[in-house]
Copies of this chain bind each other. A is one copy, B any other.
Amino acid sequence: MVIGTNEIKKVVLAYSGGLDTSIMITWLKENYNNCEVIAVTGNVGQDAELDGLEEKALNTGASKLYIEDLQKEFVEDYIFPSLKAGAVYENSYLLGTSFARPIIGKRLVEIALAEGADAICHGCTGKGNDQVRFELAVKAFAPTMKIIAPWRTWELKSREDEIEYAEKHQIPLKITRETNYSKDMNLWHLSHEGLDLEDPANEPKYDQILELSVSPEKAPDRPTYLTLSFEKGLPVALDGKKLDGVSLIKALNKIGGANGIGIIDIVENRLVGMKSRGVYETPGGTILYHAHQALETLCLDKETQHFKQGVSNKFAELVYNGLWFTPLRESLSAFVDQTQQTVTGEVKLKLYKGNITNVSLTSPYSLYNEEFASFGEDVVYNQQDAAGFINLFGLPITVQALLNKVGE
């Protein structure tokens, strides 16, 4: 879809204040007849970066800047449903960037519609997953909205090109020529890609990379203990103190980060067909996933637990692929919510130099019963039943073996 330059009078831009989206303001005005550019920043927990943002946006040509505090919604409607689902992409990735895109995309549409904008613009490259996640969110709420993705079409091919463009157009930026990892930060995680990480043969220079956490080597020599309380699959208290989701995650990020928890280094399969390599810091999230899964081993029956493994994988795949606002994701969430009715209890953990160890699991709905599993006598379980069980469970093997014998 080639967009006629005259069709665009007003654009809503997903704005971070970084190099990319700063020069995009100028670029949009240059390429679309000096159109109005409305900048929108969704606050999903990258707080520090928000100071002075409005001035910056206006100075570089935006007509206004929306700063939307999405933190509460982000936690309750995106992070927690994924936590309950146990959604982990390719056994490792806790989806930190993935579920931050739909919520921002949705808000962009709301503002674009309210402002009567003609298009939405984002700063994602044409090689990543984020372009897909943003645009699918736009399509879900404004299926005919025009989308501008400069990285896929403009002539700039690198950070150097961008800086040159900025200087040429006198865009007032405090930028240095030193290159940097490509990062994405929010309440849940911080990702690092690019530069020497491009080659999986290179060990990450953790000392330079890590921001939310320290490496296990630098973590304290003494363990930290904490207790999480869950109600119906949701974390509601830390060390007995009720906390809202945002505060809980912030608190856990601090504790986890200090103990070197949740640093992963993976090669993942992007939706757009290539593999990529990244280092992710998810200190609080890793603790929450660990605690939630441990509690589930107590509260879910085997059949549910095993089937949920497939649901978790599919849920993660959908979220990773930007398919948050889809009937399947919603139906999987309905499944998950039903499974969580009894996932209530307390999980005490020990954190020590990158390790999370269970200290104590308790639940009023625990299906684990000391009596049933122990070696003493009891009423519920009669060991003599096992013979019959094995004979019938193994009957197909017996029949097969008898058949083989006949054939000999």
Binding site for B on A (CB under 8 A): 1, 90-91, 125-127, 131-132, 135-136, 139-144, 149, 151-153, 157-159, 182, 194, 198-203, 216-217, 223, 260, 265-277, 293-294, 297-298, 300-307, 309-310, 313-314, 317-318, 321-323, 325-328, 330-339, 341-342, 350, 352-355, 357-362, 364-370, 372-377, 380-403, 405, 407
| With contact pairs A272-B392, A385-B388, A386-B152 given, residues A328 and B357 touching in the complex (Cβ less than 8 Å) | no
| With contact pairs A203-B359, A304-B331 given, residues A399 and B386 touching in the complex (Cβ less than 8 Å) | no
| Contact between A397 and B139, CB atoms less than 8 A apart | yes
A380–B144 Cα gap in the complex (Å)? 8
| Contact between B335 and A136, CB atoms less than 8 A apart | no
| With contact pairs A1-B391, A367-B400 given, residues A301 and B272 touching in the complex (Cβ less than 8 Å) | no
A89 to B, closest residue via Cβ: B306
Residues of B within 8 Å of A357, CB to CB, are 265
What are 18 of the A-B contact pairs (CB < 8 Å)? Answer: A1-B382, A152-B386, A153-B384, A157-B377, A199-B370, A201-B362, A203-B350, A203-B360, A267-B294, A269-B305, A272-B395, A273-B393, A276-B373, A303-B323, A332-B335, A355-B355, A372-B399, A380-B399
A385 to B, closest residue via Cβ: B388
- Say which residue of B157, B303, B401 sits within 8 Å of A140 (CB atoms): B401
| With contact pairs A269-B305, A331-B338, A383-B127 given, residues A202 and B300 touching in the complex (Cβ less than 8 Å) | no
Q: In the complex, which of the residues A203, A397, A407 has the most CB atoms of chain B within 10 Å of its own CB atom?
A: A397
Residues of B within 8 Å of A200, CB to CB, are 298, 358, 360-362, 366, 368
| With contact pairs A136-B390, A301-B396, A393-B132 given, residues A143 and B331 touching in the complex (Cβ less than 8 Å) | no
Q: In the complex, which of the residues A125, A153, A274 has the most CB atoms of chain B within 10 Å of its own CB atom?
A: A274
| Contact between B368 and A400, CB atoms less than 8 A apart | no
Residues of B within 8 Å of A326, CB to CB, are 301, 303-304, 396-397, 400
A357–B144 Cα gap in the complex (Å)? 37
A363 to B, closest residue via Cβ: B200
A271 to B, closest residue via Cβ: B393
A1 to B, closest residue via Cβ: B382
Residues of B within 8 Å of A392, CB to CB, are 272-273, 385-386, 389
